[in-house]
Amino acid sequence: MSASLVTRADAVSSRSIRWAWTGRLAVGYLTVITGVEGLGKSVFAAWQVARLTRGDLPGEWQGEPVDVLIVAGEDGIADTWRPRLEIAGADLKRVSFLNLDQLPTDWNLRDGIGDVRGALEETDARFVHVDALLDHMPPPKGGESINSPTFVRQALGPMKRLVRELEIVLEFCLHPPKARSGDFRDLVQASQAFGAIPRVGLLFSYHPDDAAEDPDRRRVVLRGKGNLGEDPGALEFRVGSKSYTHDDGRTTKREVVVDVAPSAVVIGDLAPDRMIGARQPTKAEQAAEILRDALGDHDWHPAAAIRDQLAAAGLNSGSVRTHALGLARVEKRKTQHAWEWRLPTSQESTSDGPLDPARARCLSDGGPFDSERENPNNNGKGPRVHDLHPNDPLGTKSPSPGDYARARDAGPLERISGRTLAELEEIRDRHIEAIR
């Protein structure tokens, strides 16, 4: 008789969540850690591994040293991980590394889950640390992307099931995107699925009370996401240095976590730039600033000279220039000799931005929907939505339904056709309001 396809709730014996580190590392689940580069996430991971191999962390394994498997893709084992672990006080006999050099160059965690299982059986490791997860993702095919929740869930699915089956802990590291957000899922790189699949997420940041120029400033680690158990509160620590003599006889200074202590900091105390680093301006934003400086007197200027300035800054590609002209709300006109640009005065500006003369001449005096006069833009088919805001800085064309669908799959921080989901929704709302 075949096995049943269902299990009734009354046949299941309940049990409590078991923690390898109370509130932070749940046995049988994935944990994601994120934070801007340079915070010391990998150094802290070495401290964490050292504590696990000594049985020092409060939780199910306290007093019970465990073996650890590290999948290291970013940092070298001999020159970085070995010194880092030894300085942190790890029991090196309990730490193993997956031999990626012996695996195919396209090895990944989804298709190579059998190799991970074999390594766990060989070492009896109960904790796995994956450094730089994106280095070990399967190659996208047929339109797949790490921005797609479906692709990410399928890629992490075998790893998630293995962790549950073997009752181990696996944590992986990601960097946050260069954008501002207070939601933990939005702080995790690429698709939000990277932050949705793990049951626990740890966020690293600089301490809000320490100055940015302080070389000894504290770091904090908080539980940014937690579907399991109570929040254990934040920890703070510093990254110090110690002298380390390598087996080749050379002595170098190596980073080490020191002064680990409970902290009263909460996520609400953190400015966005402390969590993810100050966002760098886009090329279009940089170009728009050049345009504002060059046209600040609100007089007409030859466009060619300003384009030369943009070119000198490497910002004169067609898409960048077009977007920048919209951001800066530049007016254009063609004289007998050449094109000229200017910024409108405050009296001339409107909430919708200035109309580009080349497009504005197509509109009747009664506006885009004047039924008394012909609208050359509609080709006899009625007014078109994307003609409502000819110089809209977010784009002159109404987004297609496909744009919305791809944006929803990609997440709020990714750009589809040059726009984020929020920008696409803003354009839609403005067009609907104009129609009304």
Own/partner pairs, 81-87, CB within 8 angstroms, 24+ separation: 81/46, 83/244, 83/246, 83/252, 83/254, 84/42, 84/43, 84/46, 84/254, 84/255, 84/256, 85/46, 85/49, 85/50, 86/244, 87/46, 87/242, 87/244, 87/254, 87/256
* Angle between the N-to-C axes of helices 113-123 and 149-166, in degrees from 0 to 180, rounded to the nearest 10: 20
| Domains of the chain, first to last | 15-276 (3.40.50.300)
CB 329 within 8 Å of CB 351: no
Question: Cα–Cα distances in Å, from 150 out to 155, 408, 411?
Answer: 9, 12, 12
pLDDT for residue 393: 45
How many whole angstroms separate alpha carbon 414 and alpha carbon 418? 9
pLDDT for residue 68: 97
pLDDT for residue 4: 86
pLDDT for residue 361: 35
CB 47 within 8 Å of CB 88: yes
pLDDT for residue 54: 97
CB 31 within 8 Å of CB 167: no
How many whole angstroms separate alpha carbon 102 and alpha carbon 76? 15
pLDDT for residue 357: 38
CB 237 within 8 Å of CB 258: yes
pLDDT along the chain (436 residues), means of 10: 85 90 92 84 95 96 96 88 96 96 91 95 96 85 74 88 95 66 47 63 88 88 78 92 94 94 86 56 85 88 90 85 88 89 70 39 36 41 40 50 61 58 62 50
